[in-house]
Structure 1
């Protein structure tokens, strides 16, 4: 039986000239470059379909930047965008601040830095993994119900939830250096399921050539 695949697509670049750690704040839209990245993702999934993939289910975080990233894929593959709160960005106590490194030198914020392994400044890594994996399992089931064995789903989410889900899938520790995440803008992290068993993880960067010109602020 062919594996069912759930692709975790990170959103494209956001228009953020003030370099705000935007977290779950509303109305942060894709930049023009981010829209190009979203189109690249749509082309990547369209090419998969041309090569025989059956992508039949599309889910997005409710945040504006994720919804806008999902739109070209929805149009290209004629899919409805299903919104799922479980794949939203991680909570972060520094949300809304710009120049976060400067704020970290302020003693008033030091209490939030006491445990980087949790992390103490935001939503626990384990909580993120649990909610994203639950959403991925539901997406797997929905894809199989619509397309049968070997069907595929796409979930548009955010860097940190995707990255810690991959770490968990690969049985690696969840705490990490945010600068070393392998989850670039508009990248695709693919979870492959053999029935209910998670059998493997793939990763690719359809917008690799656009990344040198992109602004990219580590999240939570």
Structure 2
């Protein structure tokens, strides 16, 4: 009998970033006080699900500080180790490290980076992001099933863009998109239901919806 698993892709919490830097993969960007509240909210959300008979069996996160800090309260609550998963790292971005990116885009020196928004030309191709995230999802779901059986669940903390383009792929939608259209708020949960053929369905939840309304609109994800 075919076995299934669910991998919950969780976006990290709000980052402390007063200079509004597009931080991307840069080190040293941890959670703000609000982001830490969000991390506690995620621990409560999955903790309550576990108490209701839907336990999480594996925890994994991007190596970046904000992802590791987001999953830490959940790891403490469930008493589970965290697997560091490089394949769900933030996307590469040529504007990384800049503050006030919109202002920089008015400079001709950056215009060549905008030549192909469908790829996109300023960073890691969307297709490449999807491929690496799906590889991580498959390996983690296979491991969860092997160790815990049918219906095993995984929580994987990542970043907005890799999560969003993976969802677009799973829903058979074009990967190119308007960034303002992304349904992937801070500490939202995009759940991939995995079957014998791969991703079979997707669901979405915002456990920290009220806290997200208080978050600043900052660059980076």
Shorter-chain TM range is: over 0.9
Partner of 1:207: 208
2:5 matched to 1:4? yes
The question of whether the paired residues in 2 share the 8 Å contact of 1:14 and 1:65 is answered with yes
The answer as to whether partners of 1:178 and 1:218 remain within 8 angstroms in 2 is no
Give the deviation of 1:13 after TM superposition.
0.1
After TM superposition, which residue ranges in structure 1, 4 or more long, deviate above 4 angstroms? none
**TM-aligned CA deviation for residue 64 of structure 1:** 0.3
Indicate conservation of the 8 Å contact 2:90/2:161, yes or no. yes
Q: 1:93-152 CA distances to partner (integer Å, 9 max, x unpaired)?
A: 000001000001110000000000000000000000000000000110111122110010
Counterpart for residue 138 of structure 1: 139
Q: Which residue of 2 aligns with 1:67?
A: 68
**Aligned counterpart, 1:182:** 183
CA deviation after TM superposition for structure 1 residue 218, in Å: 4.8
* CA RMSD, Structure 1 to Structure 2 (Å): 1.2
Paired residues of 1:7 and 1:153 also in contact (CA < 8 A): yes
Residue 219 of structure 1, CA deviation: 3.9
Task: Number of aligned residue pairs: give it.
Answer: 220
Counterpart for residue 50 of structure 1: 51
TM-score by length of 2: 0.97
Q: Determine if contact 1:74/1:80 at 8 Å carries over to the other structure.
A: yes
CA contact (8 A) 1:54 1:150 kept: no
Distance in 1 separating the partners of 2:167 and 2:28: 28
Q: Counterpart of 1:23?
A: 24
Where does the alignment leave 5 or more consecutive residues of structure 1 unmatched?
none
Contact 1:2 1:149 in 2 (8 A): yes
